[in-house]
Amino acid sequence: MTVPESSAFGTAGNARPAPESSGSTPDGSGPGRATGAAAPGPAVPVVPTGGGRPSTSGGPVRLDGPWTHRDVAANGARFHIAEMGSGPLVLLLHGFPQFWWTWRHQLPALAEAGFRAVAMDLRGVGGSDRTPRGYDPANLALDVTGVIRSLGEPDAALVGHDMGGYLAWTAAVMRPKLVRRLVVSSMPHPRRWRSSMLSDPAQTRAGSYVWGFQRPWLPERQLVADEGGLVGRLIEEWAGPNDIAFPDEPTLDVYRRAMCVPSTAHCSVEPYRWMVRSLARPDGVQFYRRMKRPVRVPTLHLHGSLDPAMRTRSSAGSGEYVEAPYRWRLFDGLGHFPHEEDPAAFSAELINWLKDPEPDR
């Protein structure tokens, strides 16, 4: 295994890759925006991101909107959530370098579609507790399932992006009775992630930021330097071509300020440190052995065709770990943040699948 040289703490650079597919997706359909998607559903509301800086009367993370903010206790910690609507629970899990607000478009769309939509801040991020330990994926997944119980629900449809997707995969294996359905965006199954990072030189380079996180203290300092300037650059580099509205300057400003909340940068990189440093340790070996257990809930796997941080080839093939209906959808022309780059298409795909009583393979 060769660890790539890294700029900053290991970004892949400004170049955007060409689409990796040769004209087909793993399910045999051709590329396109939400390839092979079901017929479009009802119009989905989109929360505008432009028009000035978002209202921050609740501080840098409890941003104003049609949602309600509150805290819930789970797994020995306190977690901040934003929620809307009533009906079956859909729990939304953010990735790096973001927080619950990344789901600002999907919260009202899901609520209007008849779901109880809840976006949580992961441990150490946003408005949730910053504990001194507990950032391994098994414990973080127990945070997620603990929040489901604290909300008084028997189960939930988990929707996870990036690191949130990694934890959603994990929760579906560890606590299958609490996961009704699984939706993962921009993240392969954990065993597929490990294999790609260790054996695929292209993914090793694309994930160079993960290797950069292994250095002590420096990544945290870089993330908060210049008022979080690196956070904005990472999001710009990982997004798709700039002919779309995301990311605009007010949006980047929100993510920069959220990362600068004390201890957030350290807590944000700790899960990635565990993922690499545990590879040869007994706890890591045990975790990846445990993840051999198949996922037995219907799974929707979403990915942007131009994602420079997690290559399409790395995510494709995760279905081998799912013994249930599995649907792969590739969003043509989008990068690492399809739910923000094209929120209407993403929300429509998500809602149509959640409402499908018999999701097929």
With cut-offs at 50, 70 and 90, classify the pLDDT of residue 57.
low
- Amino acid sitting at position 309: A
pLDDT at 28 over 60: no
Instruction: Please classify residue 1 by burial: count the beta carbons closer than 10 Å to its beta carbon, then call 0-12 exposed, 13-18 middle and 19+ buried.
Output: exposed
CB count, 10 Å around CB of 123? 27
Instruction: Specify the pLDDT at position 12.
Output: 37
Please, how many CA atoms are within 13 Å of residue 76, restricted to the half-sphere of its CB? 10
Region 266-281 average pLDDT: 95
Which H or E run includes 161? strand 156-161
Cα(166)–Cα(158) distance, integer angstroms: 11
Nearest of 268, 243, 352, 234 to residue 302 by alpha carbon: 352
Distance CA 127, CA 91 (A): 16
Looking at residue 203, its pLDDT comes to 87
Which amino acid would we find at residue 105?
H
The one-letter amino acid code at 35 reads T
Identify the residue whose tokens are 């009583």: 357
List the structure tokens of 222: 């870089």
Q: Say yes or no to pLDDT of 15 above 50.
A: no
Q: Which positions ≥6 away from 82 have C-beta within 8 Å?
A: 62, 65, 67, 68, 69, 100, 101, 103, 107, 118, 119
* DSSP β-bridge partners for residue 82: 69, 119
pLDDT band at 8 (very low <50, low <70, confident <90, very high): low
Q: pLDDT for 78-117, tens place per residue?
A: 999 999 999 999 999 999 999 999 999 999 999 999 999 9
Q: Is the dihedral of CA 338, 340, 341, 342 positive or negative?
A: positive
Helix (H) or strand (E) segment spanning residue 90? strand 89-93
Hey, which bits of 166-239 come out as E strands? 179-185
Angstrom distance (rounded) from CA 228 to CA 215: 19
Output 128 or 4, whichever has higher pLDDT: 128
What's the pLDDT at 314? 87
Across 158-184, average pLDDT? 97
pLDDT for 241: 83
| pLDDT over 50 at 42, yes or no | no
Q: Mean pLDDT across the chain, nearest whole number?
A: 86
Q: What is the pLDDT of residue 2?
A: 38
Q: Name the strand (E) or helix (H) holding 171.
A: helix 163-174
